[in-house]
Amino acid sequence: MMKRLALLCCILLLPTIAVAASQEGNVHFGEWWVGGQLGGVFTPNQDVTFTGPNGQQFTGSLKTDAAFSAGAIAGYNFCMPYRQVWERYFGGAVDFQWNQHNHPDLKGNQYALSFLARLQYPLGGSEKFTFGRFVPFLMAGPSIVWTNSSFSNFGGGSKTSTNIGVVAEMGMDFFMWPRLSITPSFRYRHVFGPSYSAQNINIDSQLDQFMVMGRVAYHF
């Protein structure tokens, strides 16, 4: 009786074993990853509202120079061998980025800390490339943005504005080696600011920023 039961269990488990074997090289197992990134930042002309001490307002347009960007990112992809296969499509990341933020007569820098949810679709997995060979992805989430500007050309000092932003990014990880990937990506960031007060004048603006980036990441 026990032999028959064991044989029956083996027969019932055969489909599961076959599926697991076929997915072994394709499942995007869970992993931590860290990376560094460089890129360019392009900000279209922005509308700026100037409010005087008596409440009078004037709206103008401000040009922002093309800028250089550098940063670091750390993330985790959720799927593990003991979890559901569909979990390989999800992950999360924390990103810190610096970029120049210069205008013709106003120099400055920006720093941003972003918390990103990740949606991905691993392709080309194998026994060697267990994370997938090509991994297109989308990331999006909130960001805290610090904008520091020098008003020395206007008789003032350096001022910093802290604002909330929204980040969205799309790209593709390409695994050159099983644990090393390179990633071209495009990122959009909207900043609800910066806002300053200088020489008794309040300066309010919002930014739409477009970034082209390259990233190198190590997965473990």
pLDDT tens track for 15-61: 433 434 444 444 545 689 999 999 999 999 988 998 988 888 888 88
The confidence band for 82, taking pLDDT boundaries of 50, 70 and 90, is low
What burial class does residue 220 get, using C-beta atoms within 10 Å of its C-beta: 0-12 exposed, 13-18 middle, 19+ buried? exposed
Would you state the pLDDT for residue 26? 47
Q: Which CATH number fits domain 2-219: 3.90.1150.10, 1.20.1730.10, 2.40.160.20, 3.30.420.40?
A: 2.40.160.20
User: How does pLDDT run across 118-175, given as a tens digit for each residue?
Assistant: 999 988 878 788 778 899 999 999 999 999 998 877 667 889 999 999 999 999 999 9
Averaged pLDDT, 112-121:
96
194 preceded by a cis bond (ω within 30 of 0): yes
> Cβ contacts of residue 208 below 8 Å, gap of 6+?
43, 44, 46, 188, 189, 190
pLDDT (0 to 100) of residue 30: 67
Going by pLDDT thresholds of 50, 70 and 90, the confidence category of residue 87 is confident
Over residues 75-91, the mean pLDDT reads 76
pTM over 0.75: yes
Percentage with pLDDT > 70 across the chain: 83
**CA atoms of 67 and 53, how far apart (whole Å):** 33
- Mean pLDDT over all residues of the chain? 85
Q: What is the largest CA-CA distance in the chain?
A: 95
Q: Among the residues of the chain, which ranges form H helices?
A: 2-23
